[in-house]
Amino acid sequence: MRNRRAMHIIHTSDWHLGQHFFDRDRFEEHEAFLRFLLATIETRRVDLLIVSGDIFDTANPPREAERMYYRFLTRLGAMGTCSAVIVGGNHDSAPHLDAPATVLETLNIKVVGALPESAEEAVFHVPCLRDETDPGVWVAAVPYLRDRDVRKAVAGESFDELSARTRAGIRAAYTEIAEVAHARSNGTPVIGTGHLTALGSSVSDSERTIHIGNLGSISGGDFPDTFDYVALGHIHTPQAVGGSQTIRYSGSPIALSFSEASQPKEIRLINTAGGTLTQEPIAVPTFRPLLRIKGDADALKEALTALEVSEKGLTPWVELTVKGSLPSSTLNEELRTLAGEHGAEVLKVGLDTSGRPSAELAPGDLSINELNPEEVFQRRLEAYEGEVPPDTLVECFSHLLTLAQEAEK
């Protein structure tokens, strides 16, 4: 009897197609990543691609982002050897993802934008298209769980009660789906998905505060043992959860904020040989460098003058942070011109405000456009002297922000 071929599976997430970085689009970088991903699928003979949410950056992505997405899926389907499972994230519009699901199934692409009405619809078998003797894998496709998916509103409940019921609802959803997967799999590997924040994971500035903090966050131990691997999305830093190497975030394939500039990016390659899943990271090339430089005016000029930019890659984008007084318009223009002369583009010139309370900042020291909603709230909280614990206020604000963002979809 010949040796049975193992399935090869790629786990990726958080593409954020259509993202605008300040006022620049990321189409060139995303196109480069998708070409890299297709080439990797072909050269590594990948049988299944799992994308764990946030395919798009907004619920109504630019048309070019949609074209890019469907071109990729068409090329993947044309290979005829690789299936795909795509689940929705908090940035995605679930109806938008689900709309073409029936058509995409003809390309062996399964899309689950919203949590299905029954657990049975969230669990399905993915065969190995290259080898019909391979048992394939089962996938428990859990997308981002919205508030309405995991609990019903209860009048008069406290925030602690709301938080506890939300976590319990998430665990119950996973338990129900895992039971179906266990009953169907008959010893075949089962892969679960998710798009949320697991307690203890490391986040960067670009993650939207949904399921962050205690509200809606679950621990690695809350995922059912039925899953041989849990392919997570939402956190942009690749990492294992709770010390378990089989519960992982693949991270975003490109840096989505300057805070991710130094983070290595990867996709995960999973192998089913022998029925025991093994895995390895595959590094994603840096298609456009993001650079963060901090110092006084002279140090910044020196750093920009010393830049060595490759002619083959995309133009580096730079964030400059000036120590000392607020950068004048003259210095701002001088730094931007100097960067351009050395092959880079400055997207932001800011002031180092570390160690300075918000109350001490002059009105012109910091633009509100440089802050996200969470940072604005945090600065307002610095002056708060009420009786409610600040951590509780942060969680309440996070929940309200979540509801407001979901209402946009």
Position 109 scores a pLDDT of 98
Give residue limits of the domains in the chain. 8-283, 290-407
Q: Tell me what pLDDT residue 363 has.
A: 45
Q: Would you tell me how many other CB atoms lie within 10 Å of the CB of residue 294?
A: 15
Tokens read off for 332: 């701002």
Query: In sequence order, which residues have a C-beta less than 8 Å from that of residue 375 and are 6 or more positions away?
Result: none
Element containing residue 43 per DSSP (H, E): helix 27-43
pTM to 2 decimals? 0.86
Instruction: Give the tens place of pLDDT for each residue, 61-109.
Output: 999 999 999 999 999 999 999 999 999 999 999 999 999 999 999 999 9
CA 304 to chain centre: 31
Any bridge partners for residue 137, and if so which? Answer: 126
Q: What is the pLDDT of residue 213?
A: 39
Q: Checking DSSP bridges between strand 190-195 and strand 229-233, what pairing results, if any?
A: parallel
Structure tokens at 105: 């199934």
Instruction: Give the alpha-carbon dihedral of 306, 312, 315, 317, to 10 degrees.
Output: -70
pLDDT tens-digit readout, 13-53? 999 999 999 889 999 999 999 999 999 999 999 999 999 99
pLDDT of residue 2: 43
For the chain, residues with pLDDT lower than 70 are 1-5, 152-156, 159, 200-216, 325-327, 353-375, 378-379, 382-383, 385, 387, 391-392, 395-396, 398-409
SS3 (DSSP) at 40: helix
Strand-pairing partners, residue 35, are none
**Percent of the chain, pLDDT > 90?**
63
What CATH class does 8-283 carry? alpha beta
What are residue 282's DSSP bridge partners? 267
Rounded distance, CA 76 to CA 325, Å?
53
Number of CB atoms found within 10 A of residue 51's CB: 25
331 Cβ neighbours under 8 A, 6+ residues apart: 297, 322, 349
Q: In Å, what is the CA distance from 354 to each residue of 107, 332, 387?
A: 52, 20, 27
In the structure encoding, which two tokens stand for residue 391, read together? 């951590």
Other residues' Cβ atoms within 10 Å of the Cβ of residue 349:
20
